[in-house]
Structure 1
Amino acid sequence: MKIVSAVLLAAAAAAAVTATFLPLSELLIRLAPDQPQTAYVTTGWATHFGGTKDRHGPLFGVPVAAAAIALLAGIRWRRTAFAAAAALAGVTGMLFVYLLNAIGFHEEGNIAIDPGLEAGFGTGTWVLMAATVLAFGAVVVHPDD
């Protein structure tokens, strides 16, 4: 079971870090009635509006990367694995609620510029949730210290 747990923890850490480079949220907005929609994409490290990268990225990836490092340390100790999985769940939950609020704000038509605006979660959010499930699965099969 130690090998299964180690593989699951490593997979969870890799998935969590990978998720930070994928879109966490995606927004398609038209800035003027005669303009095409422009993509506003947020990852764990940057925000892109069309082809422009925001110099002041959100850095959502920092706590995710810290939790991923802790997951790797958890390969040795079950309690560390549990604490790391809990940290990843906390970061994922907080990010999910933040994005849910931001997406909900835009979907409710609070931006009058574009009534056809589309907002939603990106693949990174779902990969991050899957990483959390993997991490807790690893804790379940992790042998006691």
Structure 2
Amino acid sequence: MRLLSAGLLFLAAAAAVTATFLPLSELLIRLTPDQPQTAYVTTGWSTRFGATEDEHGPLFGIPAVAAAVAVLVGVRWWKVAFAGAAALAGVTGMLFVYLLNAISFHRQGNITIDPGLEAGFGNGMWVLIAATIVAFGAVVVHPDD
């Protein structure tokens, strides 16, 4: 069981870190009726509008990576594995609610500008949710110390 738990904890930590580099939210918006839609993409480390990258990135990746480190340290101790999984769940939940509010705001606030607006979660958010589930699965099979 220790090997299975360690493998799952490693997988969860790797997925959580990887998720920070994937799009967490994506918005396709047309600023004027005669222009094509432009992508507004947020990752754990940057925000891009088309080809322009915001020099002040959101840094959502920092708490996710910190939680992933706690998950990895949990390979040795069950309590730390549980704390790491809980931290990852907290980061994921906080980010989910924040992005849900931002997506909803963009949809409501820009419908008059671009009725064809598309806004939603990116693959990174779903990978982060999966990492949280895997981390708790690892806690369940982790041998008690």
Q: Same fold (TM over 0.5)?
A: yes
In the other structure, the counterpart of 2:49 is 49
Superposition deviation, residue 14 in structure 1? 0.1
TM-score by length of 2: 0.98
Amino acid in the other structure paired with 2:128:
L
Which residue number corresponds to residue 121 of structure 1?
Answer: 121
Q: 1:87 and 1:106 mapped to 2: Cα distance?
A: 28
Which residue of structure 2 lines up, in the alignment, with residue 15 of structure 1? 15
Instruction: Show the counterpart of 1:59.
Output: 59
Tell me the CA shift for residue 40 of structure 1: 0.2
CA distance in structure 2 between the aligned counterparts of 1:31 and 1:103, rounded to whole angstroms: 16
Count matched residues.
144
Q: One-letter code of the match for 1:72? A: L
Partner Cα separation in structure 1 for residue 107 and residue 142 of structure 2? 42
1:89 aligns with 2:89: yes
| Residue in 1 that maps onto 2:106 | 106
Q: Which runs of 4+ in 1 moved over 2 A?
A: none
Query: Gapped runs of 5+ residues in structure 1?
Result: none
Give the distance between the partners of 1:32 and 1:72, measured in 2 at CA.
Answer: 48
Taking the aligned partners of 1:101 and 1:85, their CA distance within structure 2 comes to 24
Q: Deviations over 1:80-127 (max 9, x none)?
A: 00000000000000000001111111223x123212111000000000
Gapped runs of 5+ residues in structure 2?
none
Cα distance in 2 between the residues matched to 1:137 and 1:104: 31
Give the Cα–Cα distance (whole angstroms) in 2 for the partners of residues 86 and 135 of structure 1. Answer: 9
